[in-house]
Structure 1
């Protein structure tokens, strides 16, 4: 075998990357790639080890081995394999892209971005390189550059369906709704049953879908050949257009069918979640006093039930010159996952054994991971709704942080959750009874923690904001330790990317007519019953 492997003539073409391998070896390479794709990491590892014994240091084999290691959460081994591959093919765009993925997984975002950009520089005509760069820029919150990269990908390959969808998403987040509509429609021109494109159109809440859209959606759902993911997304979109047109019974039927299909993919375990919430509360009942009570004062957590107005309150705070709106960050949960791996115990089992020094270390780790959100402004928001689960332990981990618990009328919030397609499964929002159980757990936990720490946790009522915006905004800013700034009253003018399903709504002045639940009458009684509220007196109009 050669001591070094010749570079492929066209590195972005898969057929050329198996350079100098024999046909049987190429077949095994393809089998290993399929196994990685399908999650069969054990068989894939055996095949790659066997191939590397026959073709030592082949860069494409090393690259696939790196992908396998990354899937198995072994970033150090993945980095080592890619380093060996790049030693032979220094400007390999695919290996550079994969190394960027490794560095991102390891928490080095700057290094990851540099590698993704380098991959585009060495292969400027490779649409998937630009798509990958744009996708990752979007995930990391760099929405403007993401749009540019995705536009480049679409220009290089107009048939690249995912690029059109993500371009639509990124334009929505920037408030460029007409352009977003065109991107989603371009995706539908390629694939009329593209659920992600219909999801994007439906998520522009302030823009109703048309009668023609409603007719097309209904026709698509009559097809027998739809992929299940597309059928679900189209069902949610049909529910949205029906509600917009006042067809409430039809909207409820479409949304119920879509949610039922979503739930069958991964059922929510309400009893198990209740037990987990109790375990978190019990584990955090006796936390050590913090070493530094000011640690985390840069952070403002906005928590609560999804669709309760958390994006609106983030938009208000992000209009303040001292606050960066970072949207829904995964970092808090990921820091706890890291610690669970280090201790080889799942959260919250290890919480009682954690010392004040441990909590300080974890708090600093969170601040380290989120440092890029404080490059322009000293404070930042983290509005991942389910961070309410960690509100208790934040007293030890980030005692200086402020927590804004956004509350909306539970029936309105619960119904809004039922209408929204959530992609992370299992999810509580697929049945009205599960939604009610989740709300009970959330409210009980937050009520307990807020009573213990009223200076650290504020219960912020959505309806109170609608009734008296200026008073509520002043009180919110004071709670966060921020001076009043009139820009917060004109939050809808704030120039920032909004990366949630409320991106269109928060770019408009306050709408005091957001209630929808009463229009569904008794159809929502399972939700009311679960919440212990009076049942409806009228049927659906």
Structure 2
């Protein structure tokens, strides 16, 4: 039965009232008014569509899809509804399906910028970065004030590590939508990338002012507090988020665990134990809870229980990918076979004259973050963090030769090495301000030490070492966001460590005076003497700030982000002793070295 004129008019009034509630953030009131409008006029597709929008906003993907489909029954060719169905599928990570709906929407309206931008989002999720960028720029060309497209374009530029360009596009998104909470948050994260801590915090706070209940922003801000050294504030915010959202992504529990010291009666341990015992718990959640509980029980001194959780978490991750130690042996041996004295002689005079780059390398968890924090406390040094541009630049030039590292090195000319160096310099110049030196503390740059020496013979290379067992167990008990394929099985970890030592021995033979070696234990035991030697090697004058490195304000996005906010302490020495028989497979393999 069709609605009469009064019901149609009443429905429109309720719909308009719902819009006011929605724009004021009164979501429950908006939902009630939309439902009342639909009861008056079931043919009002706009009310069905907006009701679905609110379900999607609340994360209720199933309900949103049901409501959008109902709206589509009222207007089967409506490009807005088709686009919104695609949005639900993006939330469900069904990108191929989502693209079909965006294509339908664009067939009806080729200039519908939301569908163009959303299609680009799918491409970005499929790692088709350049194609995605084309779609976002197309949307902006059609509608230069479409803030979502600027936000999405900035996301792509950030992925390409064009941080300053990303900042500019996030600012454009905000210019055209001053209440765009996500854009403020994303801008803050990009400002973190370029070390602008104060500006980053300002934008996080603005994002929360615009949308105080945005959980994603709260999580990102807590991460900022943690990595910028405001550990107590981070702990309180994590605690607040968990209390308000007990079913939050378990990764939050892991990050939270590393900001606090657990006590015996700690309710957070009980909460995590209850969650991990759920029968239907997914592997992602279980992994992060295992590492969180491993940290908690280590704090309590219950080492075996801690280790069992860590072992379980590692085992879950290890089942998710392919890794073969024999393949890794071939890779390391290829590097050694290619980098021989004749190759070094061939390129001895091909390097660039740059001398303001400091490379800090070694195994992860060997003290690279600590060394960088000490150096970046010097007024002449900018801490660049883990910069991937050495590998990226080698790969970029290698593609022209249709070859990959290390085989690509055999095809390189002096001009190729110069191009790799120029690419690296162009990409890293965005990090330097008034400082004279830039550090790059990506540990696995030890794989490229030979080519770094050829391209930048005047650069400073610092090799961080640590007791092998301590280094490996510290790796094993920390979850790595970046993939470290060797790190999730004790025997594979030990084998990789031995390969690393073999390669470093080779580099030492090729370049006997080519790098400075600093041992973590020595640095902890005699901080001042080791710091003096470190600064002398880098040709830097002594500055007291380097001893008070824990007070230096900068972003540290590594597993050491909490530890380096404290003065040097000796608790991190001989940590493997407490694990004793639990790590015998690792100890036995390391003895082979």
Q: Which of the five TM-score ranges fits, normalised by the shorter chain?
A: 0.7 to 0.9
CA 1:192–1:268 in 2, change beyond 3 Å: closer, same or farther? farther
CA 1:494–1:426 in 2, change beyond 3 Å: closer, same or farther? closer
Q: Please, which moves more after superposition, 126-135 or 73-82?
A: 73-82
Q: Which residue of 2 aligns with 1:122?
A: 176
**C-alpha distance in 1 between matches for 2:298 and 2:537:** 37
* Larger Rg over CA atoms: 2
**C-alpha distance in 1 between matches for 2:82 and 2:309:** 46
| Structure 2 residue 497 is the aligned partner of structure 1 residue 439 | yes
**C-alpha distance in 2 between matches for 1:51 and 1:30:** 9
Does the Cα contact within 8 Å between 1:290 and 1:360 map onto a contact in 2? no
User: Residue 582 of structure 2: which of 502, 523, 528 is its match?
Assistant: 523
**C-alpha distance in 1 between matches for 2:76 and 2:458:** 61
SS of equivalent to 1:387: helix
| Structure 2 residue 332 is the aligned partner of structure 1 residue 277 | yes
**C-alpha distance in 2 between matches for 1:178 and 1:110:** 30
| Structure 2 residue 299 is the aligned partner of structure 1 residue 241 | no
Q: How many residues align?
A: 525
Alignment of 1:11-30 (within 5 A): 23=77, 25=79, 29=83
User: Residue 370 of structure 1: which of 414, 425, 428 is its match?
Assistant: 428
User: Residue 409 of structure 1: which of 448, 462, 467 is its match?
Assistant: 467
Does the Cα contact within 8 Å between 2:352 and 2:421 map onto a contact in 1? no
Q: Which residue of 2 aligns with 1:218?
A: 273
TM-score, with length taken from structure 1: 0.87
CA 1:283–1:29 in 2, change beyond 3 Å: closer, same or farther? farther
Does the Cα contact within 8 Å between 2:173 and 2:180 map onto a contact in 1? no
User: Per-residue deviation at 1:22?
Assistant: 6.0
CA 1:83–1:503 in 2, change beyond 3 Å: closer, same or farther? closer
Q: Please, which moves more after superposition, 46-55 or 427-436?
A: 46-55
**C-alpha distance in 2 between matches for 1:529 and 1:113:** 50
Give CA deviations for 1:273-325 in whole Å, capped at 9, x if unaligned.
Answer: 22222223333432542556453421111111111211111111111121111
User: Per-residue deviation at 1:404?
Assistant: 1.1
**Structure 2, gaps ≥5 residues long:** 1-19, 26-49, 55-67
Q: Which residue of 1 aligns with 2:557?
A: 499
User: Per-residue deviation at 1:24?
Assistant: 6.0
Q: Which residue of 2 aligns with 1:3?
A: none
Give CA deviations for 1:366-422 in whole Å, capped at 9, x if unaligned.
Answer: 111111222120101111111111111112232222221111101011111111011
User: Per-residue deviation at 1:31?
Assistant: 6.3
CA 1:43–1:279 in 2, change beyond 3 Å: closer, same or farther? farther
Does the Cα contact within 8 Å between 2:197 and 2:554 map onto a contact in 1? no
| Structure 2 residue 146 is the aligned partner of structure 1 residue 92 | yes
| Structure 2 residue 390 is the aligned partner of structure 1 residue 335 | no
Q: Which residue of 1 aligns with 2:120?
A: 66
SS of equivalent to 2:571: coil
**C-alpha distance in 1 between matches for 2:518 and 2:403:** 35
SS of equivalent to 1:527: helix
SS of equivalent to 2:534: helix
CA 1:489–1:132 in 2, change beyond 3 Å: closer, same or farther? closer
Give CA deviations for 1:189-235 in whole Å, capped at 9, x if unaligned.
Answer: 2332432221222223x744662222222222112233322221111
SS of equivalent to 2:379: coil
TM-score, with length taken from structure 2: 0.80
| Structure 2 residue 510 is the aligned partner of structure 1 residue 452 | yes
Give CA deviations for 1:321-363 in whole Å, capped at 9, x if unaligned.
Answer: 2111111122222223323444443333322111111111111
User: Per-residue deviation at 1:140?
Assistant: 4.4
Q: Which residue of 1 aligns with 2:320?
A: 265
**C-alpha distance in 1 between matches for 2:212 and 2:278:** 26
Does the Cα contact within 8 Å between 1:327 and 1:382 map onto a contact in 2? yes
**C-alpha distance in 2 between matches for 1:47 and 1:213:** 43
Give CA deviations for 1:11-44 in whole Å, capped at 9, x if unaligned.
Answer: 999969x9x9963655654566677778877777
User: Per-residue deviation at 1:444?
Assistant: 1.0
**Structure 1, gaps ≥5 residues long:** 1-8, 535-541
User: Per-residue deviation at 1:506?
Assistant: 1.6
Give CA deviations for 1:97-129 in whole Å, capped at 9, x if unaligned.
Answer: 122223334554322211101212322223222
SS of equivalent to 1:346: coil
RMSD: 3.2
SS of equivalent to 1:374: coil
